[in-house]
Structure 1
Amino acid sequence: MTQTQPETSIQEAVQQKVTDHLAVIYPGHDCPAIARQLLKLMRLDEDCQSPLAHKNLWDQTDMMVITYANTILKENQHPLETLHHFLKTHFTMLINSVHILPFFPYSSDDGFSVIDYKKVNPELGDWSDILRISTDFHLMADLVINHCSAQHQWFVNFQEGKSPGRDYFFTVDPNEDLSGIVRPRTTPLLRSISNGEETKYVWCTFGPDQVDLDFRNPRVLMEIVDIIRLYLDMGVRIFRMDAVAFVWKRIGSSCINLDETHEIVRLLRTLIEHADPNAVIITETNIPNRENLTYFGNANEAHCIYNFSLPPLLVHTLVSGNCRHLKSWLMSMPPAQNGTTYFNFIASHDGIGLRPAEGLLSEEEQEALIQTMENFGGKISWRALDDGNKKPYEINIALFDALKGTTAGEDQWQIERFICAHVIMLALEGIPAFYLHSLVGTTNDYQRMHEHGHNRAINRRQWQEAELNRKIADRKSHHHQVFYQLRNLIQIRREQPAFHPNATQFTLHLGDQIFAFWRQSMDRRQSIFCLNNISDEPQVVLLSSINLIGTEHWKDLISNEFFDDMSASVTLEPYQTLWITNRW
């Protein structure tokens, strides 16, 4: 018989674990005292639970929709209420999780320059709206911990020499050698602040309105932990750690992915999972693939990492008609340990990142991709290099428009190509996440881009609920076609154990025009062979080439076609997918 561990010993063990984390981050500080403070802020001194190691907190029914709170509007109604109604109407029993992008008061960057972490933007609703959504969906919220708004009270206090805030921000001597710093923007790294007596230079990784917090001060860590506790109380189950790779700075280094950064992630993981063993941490690290993978740690950092290389590689595959690089990347991806998995997305509120394609696509291939996206109406955002030059950072375009053709130009296969992209995402190892605009086939919004003055707004349209519902209902509309095809595919995926996020995955080799892989359920009873024609020409596949077992009965889950003759061949039309399985 297993004995329940006494609560006091759990608390003691957690306090020691937190103290050990802190010793790495803050050598020379009174780490046991800081640990006691953190446990008190998280209320772990009152209720401390024991998470199970390597437990998968997800299965094949888990899927997420990513959206701004005010993507869908209705007159005289809070946007959060309108969003809740839209999601319940269209996705109940299909998509069980929602990522609501920053819903706090903000000053810029569509929410990621937070003025007050503890309030809901009154233009969107209030905490009661958040709580209601969290009762119907697993809720993911952003933990924007690298920086806050220059209008946050902490920064106002910093400028006036008051607390809290007086020592919350990272300052540096501008004469230091900062040439090796990795930047995601072209704006100046430092912002000067003068109070008439002295001038300070504050660090701004993402721009002058987003001022970097200084985690060298343990009080900053305590403020963040206090915020985390509030979010848990308000129903947040999934924490998206925004731009977490940049949180620790050390002059003379690249100031990205430092050891202290990883230790902070491990510390927050320890605190969060002992407060709620079902809570999940996802790291948002838009960086090259090898660096991104490090945020799994040894299954002790992020539960999930954003699969940032998937969007640029998949778009490149579909517009070039060649899956060589996508296939090589898939073979290189290590299976996630139980208790961790990949977070798969192919469109988001940001652009198609190019840094995650570094080392995977050649310079010439990236140039061809950029040129094709510009031909389809996309825009390019840039980042600064340490030599003063700039380099493309991301492509800003609605995914539906990104796939309106190939490198040869626009064609008639836009919807089929768009659906193919999502079918691939749905079948890959990991949890799939749909940008709301992709679910309804939203196109480039040039008016919003010009009104807001930045490229990312091209893919952040706001819909009136009634108008969007009319378009979804109109059978002649591409919105209708996209919406209902994706709903059908989501429903199919939910019922397949072989699509569990941690089910076995192997890459198949069927040429450069067929992107193929095999999934097998964790109990080994179900196999699914996923064959995707990623070209604009029909492709013939011999069934014998995928080693279907002749003693089994095989069926395509999408078309319901049966395959009994193992010596036969099958023709895949342009951008067609087969999910061939032995269990249905």
Structure 2
Amino acid sequence: MGKRFKISEQPMISLQKELRFLVETHLRFIYDEQSYPDLDHAQLARKLIKIVELDEQCLKPAVHESLWDEQDVLVITYGDSIKKEGEPPLDTLNNFFNKHLADTVNGVHILPFFPYSSDDGFSVIDYTQVNDGLGDWGDIEEIASNFDLMADLVVNHCSSRSRWFDNFKQCKEPGKNYFFECDPSADTSDVVRPRTSPLLREVETLEGKKYVWCTFSHDQVDLNFANPDVLCEMIQIIKLYLDRGVKIFRMDAVAFVWKELGTPCIHHPKTHELVRLMRTLIEHHSPRAIIITETNVPNHENLSYFGNANEAHAVYNFSLPPLLLNALITGSSAHLKAWQMSMPPAQEGTFYFNFIASHDGIGLRPAEGLLQDQEIDTLINTMQSFGARISWRAAQGGLNKAYEINVTLFDALQGTTKGPDKWQIQRFLCAHGIMLALEGIPAIYIHSLVATNNYQEGVELTASNRTINRYKWDADELETQLATEHTHHAKVFEQLKRLISIRRGQQAFHPNATQFTLHLGDQLFGFWRQSIRRDQSIFCIYNVTDDTVTIPLSSINLISLNKWVDLVSGQEYTDLHLDLVLEPYQFVWLTNKIAC
């Protein structure tokens, strides 16, 4: 990732003048003169530019240029998802990646690796340190030297055990005015919540009782970006991460950053402007750096973070996991197909970040408006029968609604609405075959890569549903499982590596290559990809049912003058008057050009 970029030949003085104008324009929108009559926007702009050291040297990024190609594939993992006694987990992780994945993936997302107090890292105590239980900055830099490193920028909140919050309670800086306060009598009924816990937390300070805003939990206290000092702190953190080798910034829970009473306090226009400001500063320092926004919300809201190709470089494709899961357990691609047809191609210079499993769960908000309530209930009931847990959120009217399904993807795909069956591995590979071929860049969760089962014991130990998909592998045990041919871990691992390797060799799988949906009936899910140079086509066709499905090859509109080969099986299709027969969950990548 980040292979091509152009450095402007514009004189440095002119470029810095342009940068100051851009930053000041962002700031005048965020801190409008009516609300901040005494704020010196030009001075604040100069301060931010100095923090990132752009007053000494800055680069102008190319406009609307794709910094990625078909070879980009990431793995998502915690720093201690694989552990070995007597060895820093980050070293263990790096060794595992170098041994098994150096030729398979080129990027790694290490989930929050900072000191924390809860939420497995997302309640950050100190943004500037590496959790000493994982390793140190040297370990992070070593991984960043081998792979494109993606790190979390936890912008919305920090830990109640942080120095900033301790200072808040003691009414001293830095921290005194770093957190969003709210009168408990204020009307917050319009506020969108991702959790069921009370929104406000009562806190004893040296100035008496205060009430702070907690979107996610009372240990995760929301930062107040209405205070420009908080913005300066976050920009300093960004600069630190850039210096340590971070290339991809995952803006965690960014949708909730700006609060204004009387609004839903989600997707505020000033939130979008903050993202644009951070992008401006980041890309003028490192033109190859990438911003990804994490917004687990309905599809149309999620897409808004592309802006006009001037906001996030990428958005998480949050609707894909629940729709794909629904298709594979019901045997119907109808909703998945309808959604894909409605998705606009990512503008040049942007891409979809595709995933089908994560450290959290399978979000249900992104399925709102795409699946009917009864269909969501069926999905939930089926997953619960496979051992899944359900997390809830507070909805309007005092009701609770299902927020996400907590389950490992391997166990989620152990059967259909009819119950468990013998097609678990095939179904699981089919799911990844879809993700790997879709427009965008794929990211595979470490526990999907090695087919981890539900960690029920962990849920009991932590009382957190999300622990079900956060197992910590012993490195030696994992090596044994992967080296033993008959284990499902080894079978899945080798097959996924093979599929990834095939994907990385096809120009038609470029993240921005053309994509059209095929209409082959609900038992099949299909789409056509064409390389940017139009010299390679790939027809991706998937049987999403537990039955054998047969269709005429002529229905796919293959050009008869070309020789067609299935990249997955190697089978050649020379007689286009024959039928294509797909066994349960079998899929083909039919191409007219063998690229590797």
| Letter of the 1:299 counterpart | A
Alignment of 1:151-550 (within 5 A): 151-195=161-205, 197-550=207-560
| Letter of the 2:168 counterpart | F
Alignment of 1:83-98 (within 5 A): 83-98=93-108
Q: In structure 1, what is the equivalent of residue 18 of structure 2?
A: 13
Partner-residue secondary structure (3-state), 1:530 = strand
1:272 Cα shift? Answer: 0.4
Partner-residue secondary structure (3-state), 1:387 = helix
1:198 Cα shift? Answer: 2.2
Partner-residue secondary structure (3-state), 2:10 = coil
Indicate conservation of the 8 Å contact 2:76/2:445, yes or no.
Answer: yes
Distance 1:196 1:16 in 2: 41
Distance 1:539 1:385 in 2: 42
Corresponding residue pairs, total: 583
| Letter of the 1:117 counterpart | Y
| Letter of the 2:306 counterpart | F
Distance 1:104 1:10 in 2: 35
Are 2:129 and 1:124 aligned? Answer: no
Distance 2:209 2:399 in 1: 28
1:3 Cα shift? Answer: 8.4
Distance 1:171 1:323 in 2: 46
Distance 1:196 1:65 in 2: 46
1:196 Cα shift? Answer: 6.1
Are 2:37 and 1:24 aligned? Answer: no
Distance 1:200 1:73 in 2: 42
1:542 Cα shift? Answer: 1.0
| Letter of the 1:553 counterpart | K
Partner-residue secondary structure (3-state), 1:227 = helix
Partner-residue secondary structure (3-state), 2:167 = helix
1:339 Cα shift? Answer: 0.7
Q: In structure 1, what is the equivalent of residue 47 of structure 2?
A: 37
Q: In structure 1, what is the equivalent of residue 4 of structure 2?
A: none
| TM-score in terms of structure 2 length | 0.97
In the alignment, structure 1 segments of 5+ residues that lack a partner are none
| TM-score in terms of structure 1 length | 0.99
Partner-residue secondary structure (3-state), 1:264 = helix
Deviations 1:447-468 (A, max 9, x none): 1111111000000000011100
1:578 Cα shift? Answer: 0.3
Counterparts in 2 of 1:473 and 1:367: CA distance versus 1, 3 Å = same
1:437 Cα shift? Answer: 0.5
Q: In structure 2, what is the equivalent of residue 578 of structure 1?
A: 588
* Identity fraction in percent: 59
Deviations 1:431-483 (A, max 9, x none): 00000010000000011111111000000000011100110111110001100
1:195 Cα shift? Answer: 2.8
Alignment partner of 2:153 out of 143, 152, 158: 143
| Letter of the 1:136 counterpart | N
Show structure 1 runs of 4+ deviating over 4 A. none
Deviations 1:379-425 (A, max 9, x none): 00000013211000000000000000000100000000000000000
Alignment of 1:95-106 (within 5 A): 95-106=105-116
State which drifts further: 540-549 or 320-329: 540-549
Q: In structure 1, what is the equivalent of residue 577 of structure 2?
A: 567
Distance 1:312 1:413 in 2: 19
